[in-house]
Amino acid sequence: MRFVTVEHDGRERPGVLDGEDVILLPHADLVAVIENGLGALGNERVALADVRLLAPIRRFRRDILCTGWNYWDHFEESKGKREGQDVDRPEHPTFFTKGPDVVIGPYDEIAYDPAVSAKWDYEAELALVIGKTGRSIPVADALDHVWGYTLANDISQRDLQRAHGGQWLKGKSIDQTMPLGPWIVSADELGDPQDVRLQCLLNGEIMQDASTKQMAYDVATLISELSFGMTLRPGDLLLTGTPAGIGNAREPQVFLKEGDEVITRADQLGELRNTLAYRELS
């Protein structure tokens, strides 16, 4: 199934895609669906063309969970370009968080303020939504804790990353900069999360093109390692890392600017289509 959050008659409503229609659900939001189960679908139906698609997850109990350096080609492409902050290959997944105010809808404008950063970069990522509480989850059981999968673009400010000790929270937590969606595909419908072709296009040019088979640590391993001694709960969002092709690692470097269109897509998961538009953030 494909789950959405839409704006309809001035209200935010969760729903299920059914062809070109959305079956609206009586729940408060998709987190409530995850926690309490889907139940009966009901008969309230609207045309997808008549509603605005929002980010599918809108309510967060914690920061957004993220994975860094999870494609070795991406790790290697940035060697010597981290401004003195290079490290050896990590022996375990690298995790960090983003503030929840970054999240925007699948077709919303990405807030852009050159006073905040001169180095805006794109990062197409597969994201997953946790569906079942767990701590210290074995790898063999990890995928049973996934409710569904979606797309994210982890728009990053490289100079902020470098200015704050090389850690990633600040350089990846600028408000209204992370598109999410367009829907959540249930885990049973997607099937193998290691068989997704992920692409990022900038103004029509393919910048990233990779398979999740290339991940350094697969989805089950990420969940198991992240949950070691740490409880994961329904509705938690985890980004799984970006492949090679980022703007910061290119020669010459390519950074985003006002008016650029960024597309993140995967055949199984749909497409994010966003334009950078000036917003005063500083």
pLDDT of 165 over the 90 cut = no
- Measured CA to CA, the distance from residue 227 to residue 217 in angstroms comes to 14
What pLDDT digit, counting tens, does each position of 238-260 carry? Answer: 999 999 999 999 999 999 999 99
For the record, the structure tokens of 127 come out as: 């994201």
Considering the domain architecture, whether residues 271 and 196 belong to the same structural domain is answered as: yes
Shared domain for 48 and 132, answered yes or no, is no
> Within this chain, do residues 234 and 166 fall inside the same structural domain, yes or no?
yes
**Looking at the structure, do residues 141 and 106 belong to the same domain, yes or no?**
yes
Query: DSSP string of 22-58?
Result: EEE-SSSSHHHHHHH------S-EEEGGGSEEE-S--
Mean residue pLDDT of the chain comes to 96
80 falls in which pLDDT band (50, 70, 90)? Answer: low
Same domain? For 6 and 22 the reply is yes
Which pTM value belongs to this model? 0.96
Q: CA 179, CA 106: separation in Å to the nearest integer?
A: 5
pLDDT band at 151 (very low <50, low <70, confident <90, very high): very high
Residues 140 and 262 in one domain: yes
Mean pLDDT of 118-124: 98
Reported as a pLDDT band with limits 50, 70 and 90, residue 75 is: confident
Segments forming the whole domain that contains residue 164: 57-278
Is the pLDDT assigned to residue 164 strictly greater than 90?
no
Same domain, 94 and 219: yes
pLDDT at 177 over 90: yes
Q: Do 193 and 221 reside in the same domain of the chain? A: yes
* 87 plus 177 within the same structural domain: yes
Q: Is 233 helix (H, G, I), strand (E, B) or coil?
A: coil
Going by C-alpha positions, the residue among 231, 192, 233 that lies closest to residue 211 is 192
Do 117 and 217 share a domain, yes or no? Answer: yes
- Token couple for 135: 């701590």
Residues 141 and 263 in one domain: yes
Residues 230 and 201 in one domain: yes
CATH number at residue 209: 3.90.850.10
What pLDDT is attached to residue 87?
A: 76
Q: For the chain, what is the domain count?
A: 2
